[in-house]
Amino acid sequence: MRIATWNVNSITARLPRLLAWLESSGTDVLCVQETKCTEEQFPSDELRELGYESAVHADGRWNGVALVSRVGLDDVVGGLPGGPEYAGAQEPRAVSATCGPVRLWSVYVPNGREITHDHYAYKLKWLGALKDAVAADAAGGRPFAVLGDFNIAPTDDDVWDRAAFEGSTHVTEPERAALAALRETGLSDVVPRPLKYEHPFTYWDYRQLGFPKNRGMRIDLVYGNGAFAGAVKDGYVDREERKGKGASDHAPVVVDLEL
């Protein structure tokens, strides 16, 4: 079973590449982030033609998440139970479902913007709510994973230059502590190391030749419980999908399971 996560940075802009990638990669379930469309605008029909069902949680702004599966979609939950509000509303940043033998969450963790911004405090609250929401499944015996754009580099090795991020979000101790607390529910980073590249980044800024210079970050993660991690046989970052015209600024992260 092949499961992947990909921040597409607008599914409308990325649709031709997304459809081609699904066909060529043989992915069974894709967790999508930053759809930037309404639920009605999501390309469910085009995906259905390839044999995929879709579970979408989106409102048309800069957030939005989805699960795309050709092995079933059951017990779908849109949103983060108990999650905090921002600007008076719960943003569409999480969707979960059972896909065949596994339970999966697709998450788009708030960016945080700046350390002094109220979005940063919101980010930490959101991560705390995520920990509480997944704790029971994480500790259970069914294969379970949380995949997505976490907007946190877990260690200094997960950014191209730690000094370049001094005073910025994504690398602060409170963010990393919140990520560690999430892992303490029974989850672990299941993408194996070492990968093909010394620093398997998943995101490169469009600006200042970020990708050609490999000035990236590893912020797209796959956190699985014991049953999920024990089934993982391989994993990789598909850097090729970051190349060329019309690419997202994130690359897909793929894991193969033997269940």
Which residues have a catalytic role annotated? 108, 149, 250
Cα separation, 122 vs 220, in Å, equals 19
Please tell me whether 151 is known to bind a ligand: yes
Please tell me whether 238 is known to bind a ligand: no
Can you list the pairs that 67-70 forms with residues at least 24 positions away whose Cβ atoms lie under 8 Å? 67/29, 67/30, 67/31, 67/32, 67/95, 67/96, 67/97, 67/99, 67/104, 67/106, 68/22, 68/29, 68/30, 68/32, 69/28, 69/29, 69/30, 69/97, 69/99, 69/100, 70/28, 70/29
Amino acid sitting at position 244 = G
| 257 strand-pairing partners | 232
- 130 neighbors 121 (Cβ within 8 angstroms): no
Amino acid sitting at position 109 = V
- Could you tell me which residues come within 8 angstroms of residue 66 by beta carbon, excluding any fewer than 6 positions away? 11, 31, 32, 35, 42, 54, 55, 56, 57, 58, 95, 106
Cα separation, 230 vs 180, in Å, equals 20
Please tell me whether 149 is known to bind a ligand: yes
Please tell me whether 9 is known to bind a ligand: no
Please tell me whether 45 is known to bind a ligand: no
- Could you tell me which residues come within 8 angstroms of residue 163 by beta carbon, excluding any fewer than 6 positions away? none
Cα separation, 97 vs 112, in Å, equals 26
Please tell me whether 249 is known to bind a ligand: yes
The annotation places the binding site for Mg(2+) at 7, 34, 149, 151, 249-250
